[in-house]
Amino acid sequence: MKIFLDTAEIEEIRTVARWGVLDGVTTNPSLFAKVGGSYDDVLKQICEITRGPVSAEVVAEDVEGMLREGRQFARLASNIVVKVPMSEQGLEAIARFAQEGIKTNCTLIFSSNQGLLAARAGASLLSPFVGRLDDISEDGMNVVRELVAMIETHDLKSEVLAASIRHPRHVTQAALAGAHIATVPLKILRQMIHHPLTDKGIVQFRKDWEAVEKQPS
Ligand code: E4P
């Protein structure tokens, strides 16, 4: 399973790229709002850090507006993927982008049927929102499982991108469910790295090493 970073913060993206685990980036209007400035400039900077897919989300709700915004994003860099919300207009825009050879990520997917339709319309990535479903007492990961099964059974070309990840266990569950990608906030990636026994072990190894070093030879 590939790991994308769910952020628009340039320094966060640089950090994870240095760790060697950055396969791509997802942004959305809320993540961009935390950063500010020009969305185009932020996207260009992200695309210079990673060659992996970088999702840029449209805010228009009509087909022509989505196409206009998405084409503009696609001109910024060759690894831009246009993020389009699930809706009747979104499906039409996804189909039109596919005809133009522009890759799309269908976002705000909360059921496997929505994902199936997005895949049929030609979306490269399908983003089921696991955490937001869990928040309303549904089993968000079940949508990931069902979508992965649909794609394998019917040999569809889209990849399942587990989104709205709330804790490290979601990442494990997404990988075991066969998700092709999980997009993860930096805080959760850090939680995945650290374990109290690892951190304690590092300190103990250093202390033991220093005690031997101090002994006269
Ligand atoms: C990513 O593509 C999604 O926009 C993001 O994971 C949503 O996460 P949230 O539910 O924490 O806002």
- How do residues 76-131 score in pLDDT, each as one tens digit? 999 999 999 999 999 999 999 999 999 999 999 999 999 999 999 999 999 999 99
- Answer whether 38's CB lies under 8 Å from 75's CB: no
- Answer whether 108's CB lies under 8 Å from 127's CB: yes
- Answer whether 198's CB lies under 8 Å from 20's CB: no
Tell which residue, 54, 51, 49, has the closest CA to residue 83: 54
Active site residue 44: no
11 Cα to the center of ligand 1, angstroms: 19
64 Cα to the center of ligand 1, angstroms: 25
Report pLDDT for 80: 98
Closest ligand 1 atom, CA of 166?
A: 11
Residuewise pLDDT in 10s, the chain (217 residues): 999 999 999 999 999 999 999 999 999 999 999 999 999 999 999 999 999 999 999 999 999 999 999 999 999 999 999 999 999 999 999 999 999 999 999 999 999 999 999 999 999 999 999 999 999 999 999 999 999 999 999 999 999 999 999 999 999 999 999 999 999 999 999 999 999 999 999 999 999 999 998 777 6
Q: Which residues of 4-40 are buried (b: 16+ CB within 10 A; e: fewer)?
A: bbbbbbeebbeebeeeeebbbbbbbeebbeeeeeebe
Closest C-alpha residue for ligand 1 atom 6? 164
Average pLDDT of every residue of the chain = 97
Predicted TM-score of the model (pTM): 0.95
Locus of tokens 């039409």: 92
Residues near 7 by beta carbon (within 8 Å), at least 6 away in sequence: 13, 25, 27, 31, 185, 186
Report pLDDT for 215: 78
127 lines ligand 1 (CB under 6 A): yes
Q: How many CA atoms lie within 13 A of 172 on its CB side?
A: 6
105 lines ligand 1 (CB under 6 A): no
Closest C-alpha residue for ligand 1 atom 10? 164
CA dist 107 and 115 (Å) reads 9
Three-class SS of residue 180?
coil
CA dist 74 and 185 (Å) reads 24
Report pLDDT for 213: 80
